[in-house]
């Protein structure tokens, strides 16, 4: 058992969320999914049906999630030997450490949770009452960068699975951002330009949550771009550190 909070913290991911995001419980596909989207070491505890994404120490102190938990100082985690990479009833490395000190980003773990949670709950009706709303920590930098990367993508197409994962992730970002934006401008007086702009962005983003995935490739990309633009607009409505 290794004490957390010094070398790393750990985001505890239920199997249902991970497998929903991967679209299967096939070990090889899940391994590839986690390696691609977390890009860091992940432990699978098959006996307790959990995955543990290892993230930088201190992440647990910033984590306010109810859907998932980030374990930190004061907690111990059973860490398998580095050569234990095959599925077993005991814990093993589904994604082994690739380099010393290499860890998952907490923001990437957040994105996996958002996508998997909405897929697991079939949350696709545009409502603002899903379990992720107000339940996860905001990482504005990650959300903004993720949306910018999508809008700046070259001609290389995404697969159907990637398109759906990105769409759900952007929807999750929007559902997290809307209440934060609305709350941030609520103290401002009616007629204040910043308040009006923020509420307009939030209203437009809320309408875009009603967009379906699209039936053709051009429409699917159009939906992603609209969602990404709303993510950028909402992020820009939130005050920076020097304004808070």
Cβ atoms < 10 Å from Cβ of 5? 17
Q: Would residue 228 count as lying in a domain?
A: yes
Q: What share of the chain is helix, strand, coil (3-state, %, to 5)?
A: 50, 10, 40
Q: Would residue 118 count as lying in a domain?
A: no
Q: Would residue 174 count as lying in a domain?
A: yes
Domain hosting 171: range is 138-237
Is the same domain home to 223 and 145? Answer: yes
Rg (CA), the chain: 19
Is the same domain home to 164 and 88? Answer: no
Is the same domain home to 93 and 24? Answer: yes
| pLDDT at site 43 | 97
Q: Would residue 81 count as lying in a domain?
A: yes
Is the same domain home to 151 and 71? Answer: no
Q: Would residue 130 count as lying in a domain?
A: no
Which of 121, 141, 139, 138 lies closest to 130, judged by CA? 121
- Out of 4-13, 28-37, 157-166, 187-196, pick the least confident: 157-166
Q: Would residue 215 count as lying in a domain?
A: yes
pLDDT over threshold 60, residue 243: no
| pLDDT at site 162 | 83
3-state secondary structure of 52: strand
pLDDT over threshold 80, residue 121: no
For residue 76, which phi and psi values (nearest 5 degrees)?
Answer: -115, 145
| pLDDT at site 128 | 31
Is the same domain home to 6 and 96? Answer: yes
pLDDT digits over 69-115, tens only? 999 999 999 999 989 999 888 899 999 998 888 999 887 887 788 77
End-to-end Cα, the chain, rounded Å: 40
Tally of domains in the chain: 2
Q: Would residue 154 count as lying in a domain?
A: yes
3-state secondary structure of 241: coil
């Amino acid at each position: 058992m290794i004490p957390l909070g010094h070398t790393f913290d750990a985001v505890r991911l239920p199997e249902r969320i991970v497998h929903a995001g991967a679209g299967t419980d096939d070990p090889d596909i899940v391994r590839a999914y986690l390696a691609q989207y977390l890009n860091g070491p992940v432990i699978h505890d098959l006996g307790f049906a959990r995955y543990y994404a290892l993230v930088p120490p201190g992440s647990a102190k910033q984590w306010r999630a109810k859907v998932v938990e980030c374990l930190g100082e004061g907690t111990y985690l059973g860490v398998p030997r580095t050569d234990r990479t095959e599925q077993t009833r005991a814990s093993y490395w589904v994604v082994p450490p690739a380099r010393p000190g290499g860890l998952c980003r907490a923001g990437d773990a957040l994105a996996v949770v958002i996508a998997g949670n909405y897929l697991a709950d079939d949350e696709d009706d545009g409502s603002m009452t899903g379990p992720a709303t107000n339940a996860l920590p905001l990482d504005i930098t990650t959300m903004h960068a993720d949306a910018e990367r999508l809008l700046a993508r070259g001609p290389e197409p995404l697969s159907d699975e990637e398109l759906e994962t990105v769409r759900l992730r952007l929807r999750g970002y929007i559902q997290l951002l809307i209440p934060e934006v609305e709350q941030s401008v609520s103290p401002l007086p009616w007629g204040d330009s910043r308040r009006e702009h923020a509420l307009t962005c939030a209203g437009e983003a809320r309408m875009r949550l009603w967009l379906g995935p699209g039936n053709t490739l051009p429409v699917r990309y159009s939906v992603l771009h609209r969602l990404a633009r709303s993510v950028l607009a909402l992020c820009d409505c939130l005050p920076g550190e020097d304004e808070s």
